[in-house]
Structure 1
Amino acid sequence: MTQTPMHHWMADQGMAPLTHQAALWTAWSEGQSGLLHAPTGHGKSLAALGGLLNSTITGGRLRMLWITPMRALAADLQQAFEAPVAAIKPGWSVECRTGDTGQSQRSRQRRKPPEILITTPESASLLLTYRDMLTHLAGVDTVVVDEWHELLGNKRGVQTQLLLAALRVANPSLRVWGLSATIGNLEEARDVLLGPGRDGALLAATSQKPLVIESLLPDTQDRLTWAGHLGLRLLPRIVEQITAARSTLLFTNTRSQAERWFEALACTEALDGRIALHHGSLDRSLRDAAEQGLKTGSLRCVVSTSSLDLGVDFSPVDQVIQIGSPRTLARLIQRAGRAGHQPGASSRILCVPTHTLELAEFAAARRLWASGRVEARQPPNEPIDVLLQHVVTRCLGQPQRPDALLAELRQTHAYRHLSDARWDWVLDFLGRGGEVLRAYPEYHRVRADAHGHLRVSNATVARRHRMMVGTIAADATMRLRWLKGGSLGHVEEAFISRLKPGDQFLFSGRALELVRVRELTAYVRRARRRRVAVPRWAGGRLPLSEALSTAFIDWLAKPDAAPEYAALAPLLRLQQQVSSLPSHESLLVETTRSREGWHLALFPCAGQAVHEGLGACLAWLVTRQQARSITVASNDYGLELLSSKPWPDDSAWLAQLLDFGSVEDLLTEALNATELSKRQFRDVAQTAGLVFTGYPGRGKSTRQVQMSTGLLFDVFARYDPDNPLLMQASLESRRQALDWGRFQQTLTRLRRQPIRWHATESLSPFAFPLYAEAQRQQLSSESLAERLQRAAELIERRASHAA
Structure 2
Amino acid sequence: MQADIPPEIERWFSGRDWRVRRHQAEMLAAADAGKHALLVADTGAGKTLGGFLPTLADFCPSRLADAAAQDGLHTLYVSPLKALAHDVQRNLVTPVEEMGLPLRIETRSGDTPSDRKKRQRTKPPHVLLTTPESLSLLLSYPDSFELFGSLKRIVIDEVHAFATGKRGDLLALSLARLQALAPQMQRVALSATLANPEGFREWLAPWGEIDTVALVQGEEGAPAQVEILLPEEERVPWGGHAGTWAVGQLYQTIRKNRTTLVFTNTRFLAEFIFQQLWDVNEETLPIGIHHGSLSKEARRKVEGAMARGELRALVATASLDLGVDWGDIDCVVQMGAPKGSSRLLQRVGRANHRLDQPSRALLVPGNRFEFLEAQAAKDAVDAGQRDGEEFRPGGLDVLAQHIMACACAAPFDEAILLAEIRSSLAYAYVDETVWQRVLNYVATGGYALKAYDKFRRIVRDKQGVWRLSHPEMAAKHRLNAGIIIDSEMLEVRFRNGRSLGRVEERFAASLSAGDTFAFAGQSLEVESVKDMDVIVRATAKSAMIPSYGGARMPLTTHLADRVRAMLVDRAGWARFPDDVREWLEVQDWRSQMPGPDNLLVESFPHSKRHYTVYYTFTGWNANQSLGMLITKRMEDRGLMPGGFVANDYSLAVWGLKPVADPAPLLSPDILAHEFVEWVQESYLLKRSFREVAVIGGLVERQHPGKRKSGRQVTFSTDLIYDVLRKYEPDHVLLEAAWADARERLTDIGRLQELLERSQDQLLHVELERVSPLAVPVMVMIGRESVPQGAVDDELLLEAESLASAAMRVDDQP
Task: Tell me if TM exceeds 0.5.
Answer: yes
Q: Please give the per-residue CA displacement for 1:690-737, whole angstroms capped at 9, x wherever unaligned.
A: 111123641110010011111111111111111121011022112222
Given that 1:69 and 1:120 are in contact with CA atoms closer than 8 Å, whether structure 2 keeps it comes out as yes
Displacement of 1:561 in angstroms is 7.3
Given that 1:127 and 1:134 are in contact with CA atoms closer than 8 Å, whether structure 2 keeps it comes out as no
Matched, 1:206 2:219: yes
Displacement of 1:221 in angstroms is 6.2
Against the structure 1 CA distance between its residues 207 and 536, is the aligned structure 2 distance closer, same or farther, given a 3 Å change threshold? same
Given that 2:352 and 2:358 are in contact with CA atoms closer than 8 Å, whether structure 1 keeps it comes out as yes
Question: Who is 1:14 aligned against?
Answer: 17
Question: Who is 2:649 aligned against?
Answer: 637
Matched, 1:49 2:61: no
Displacement of 1:507 in angstroms is 1.5
Structure 1 letter corresponding to 2:766: A
Matched, 1:683 2:691: yes
Matching residue within 534, 553, 565 for 2:545: 534
Aligned counterparts, 1:132-211, within 5 A = 132-198=143-209, 199=211, 200-211=213-224
Displacement of 1:284 in angstroms is 1.6
Distance of 1:224 and 1:77 partners within structure 2 = 40
Structure 2 letter corresponding to 1:429: Y
Question: Who is 1:234 aligned against?
Answer: 246
Distance of 1:796 and 1:610 partners within structure 2 = 27
Which moved further from structure 2: 197-206 or 303-312?
197-206
Question: Who is 1:768 aligned against?
Answer: 775
Given that 2:27 and 2:216 are in contact with CA atoms closer than 8 Å, whether structure 1 keeps it comes out as yes
Against the structure 1 CA distance between its residues 443 and 235, is the aligned structure 2 distance closer, same or farther, given a 3 Å change threshold? same
- TM-score scaled by length of structure 2: 0.94
Structure 2 letter corresponding to 1:228: H
Q: Please give the per-residue CA displacement for 1:620-649, whole angstroms capped at 9, x wherever unaligned.
A: 11111115242211111211111122332x
Question: Who is 1:730 aligned against?
Answer: 738
Unaligned segments of structure 2, at least 5 residues: none
Matching residue within 658, 666, 678 for 2:666: 658
Q: How many residues align?
A: 796
Question: Who is 2:137 aligned against?
Answer: 126
Distance of 1:194 and 1:548 partners within structure 2 = 30
Against the structure 1 CA distance between its residues 561 and 774, is the aligned structure 2 distance closer, same or farther, given a 3 Å change threshold? closer
Given that 1:53 and 1:88 are in contact with CA atoms closer than 8 Å, whether structure 2 keeps it comes out as no
Distance of 1:635 and 1:49 partners within structure 2 = 43
Distance of 2:403 and 2:100 partners within structure 1 = 37
Distance of 1:677 and 1:782 partners within structure 2 = 33
Displacement of 1:47 in angstroms is 0.8
Matched, 1:358 2:366: no
Unaligned segments of structure 1, at least 5 residues: none
Given that 1:224 and 1:792 are in contact with CA atoms closer than 8 Å, whether structure 2 keeps it comes out as no
Distance of 1:343 and 1:326 partners within structure 2 = 22
Aligned counterparts, 1:303-322, within 5 A = 303-322=315-334
Aligned counterparts, 1:334-373, within 5 A = 334-373=346-385
Distance of 1:121 and 1:562 partners within structure 2 = 48
Question: Who is 1:743 aligned against?
Answer: 751
Question: Who is 1:70 aligned against?
Answer: 81
Question: Who is 1:27 aligned against?
Answer: 30
Structure 1 letter corresponding to 2:727: Y
Q: Please give the per-residue CA displacement for 1:425-478, whole angstroms capped at 9, x wherever unaligned.
A: 222222233212221112111122343322112122111101122211253111
Displacement of 1:787 in angstroms is 4.7
Given that 2:487 and 2:550 are in contact with CA atoms closer than 8 Å, whether structure 1 keeps it comes out as no
Distance of 1:778 and 1:707 partners within structure 2 = 25
Matched, 1:112 2:112: no
Given that 2:237 and 2:366 are in contact with CA atoms closer than 8 Å, whether structure 1 keeps it comes out as no
Distance of 1:793 and 1:800 partners within structure 2 = 14
Displacement of 1:684 in angstroms is 0.2
Structure 2 letter corresponding to 1:215: I
Question: Who is 1:718 aligned against?
Answer: 726
Task: Indicate the SS of the match to 1:313.
Answer: coil
Distance of 2:388 and 2:795 partners within structure 1 = 38
Q: Please give the per-residue CA displacement for 1:504-537, whole angstroms capped at 9, x wherever unaligned.
A: 2222222222222111111122345312x32222
Which moved further from structure 2: 636-645 or 793-802?
793-802
Distance of 1:800 and 1:261 partners within structure 2 = 40
Against the structure 1 CA distance between its residues 598 and 182, is the aligned structure 2 distance closer, same or farther, given a 3 Å change threshold? same
Distance of 1:777 and 1:303 partners within structure 2 = 24
Distance of 1:16 and 1:353 partners within structure 2 = 40
Task: Indicate the SS of the match to 1:287.
Answer: helix
Which moved further from structure 2: 686-695 or 244-253?
686-695
Question: Who is 2:343 aligned against?
Answer: 331
Question: Who is 1:423 aligned against?
Answer: 435
Q: Please give the per-residue CA displacement for 1:173-220, whole angstroms capped at 9, x wherever unaligned.
A: 211100112121111111111131212101111314411110011234
Matched, 1:432 2:440: no
Against the structure 1 CA distance between its residues 26 and 68, is the aligned structure 2 distance closer, same or farther, given a 3 Å change threshold? same
Distance of 2:737 and 2:748 partners within structure 1 = 13
Distance of 1:787 and 1:642 partners within structure 2 = 21
Task: Indicate the SS of the match to 2:782.
Answer: helix
Q: Please give the per-residue CA displacement for 1:246-271, whole angstroms capped at 9, x wherever unaligned.
A: 10000111111111110011122345
Task: Indicate the SS of the match to 2:70.
Answer: coil
Distance of 1:727 and 1:16 partners within structure 2 = 53
Matching residue within 443, 446, 451 for 2:455: 443
Which moved further from structure 2: 447-456 or 434-443?
447-456
Task: Indicate the SS of the match to 1:349.
Answer: strand
Question: Who is 2:794 aligned against?
Answer: 784
Matched, 1:594 2:606: yes
Q: Please give the per-residue CA displacement for 1:139-192, whole angstroms capped at 9, x wherever unaligned.
A: 101111111111211111111111111111122221110011212111111111
Distance of 1:786 and 1:75 partners within structure 2 = 43
Aligned counterparts, 1:390-429, within 5 A = 390-429=402-441
Structure 2 letter corresponding to 1:768: V
Displacement of 1:674 in angstroms is 4.8
Which moved further from structure 2: 356-365 or 314-323?
356-365
Distance of 1:783 and 1:669 partners within structure 2 = 40
Given that 1:613 and 1:671 are in contact with CA atoms closer than 8 Å, whether structure 2 keeps it comes out as no
Matched, 1:703 2:711: yes
Structure 2 letter corresponding to 1:659: S
Question: Who is 1:277 aligned against?
Answer: 289
Aligned counterparts, 1:374-385, within 5 A = 374-385=386-397
Cα RMSD after superposing both structures: 2.3
Given that 1:222 and 1:356 are in contact with CA atoms closer than 8 Å, whether structure 2 keeps it comes out as no
Question: Who is 1:92 aligned against?
Answer: 103
Question: Who is 2:533 aligned against?
Answer: 521
Distance of 1:164 and 1:534 partners within structure 2 = 42
Distance of 2:803 and 2:388 partners within structure 1 = 42
Distance of 2:755 and 2:590 partners within structure 1 = 26
Against the structure 1 CA distance between its residues 165 and 691, is the aligned structure 2 distance closer, same or farther, given a 3 Å change threshold? same
Given that 2:176 and 2:424 are in contact with CA atoms closer than 8 Å, whether structure 1 keeps it comes out as yes
Structure 1 letter corresponding to 2:757: R
Q: Please give the per-residue CA displacement for 1:207-248, whole angstroms capped at 9, x wherever unaligned.
A: 14411110011234648711238x212221111111111100
Aligned counterparts, 1:552-591, within 5 A = 552-558=563-569, 560=572, 563-591=575-603
Sequence identity (%):
32
Structure 2 letter corresponding to 1:420: E
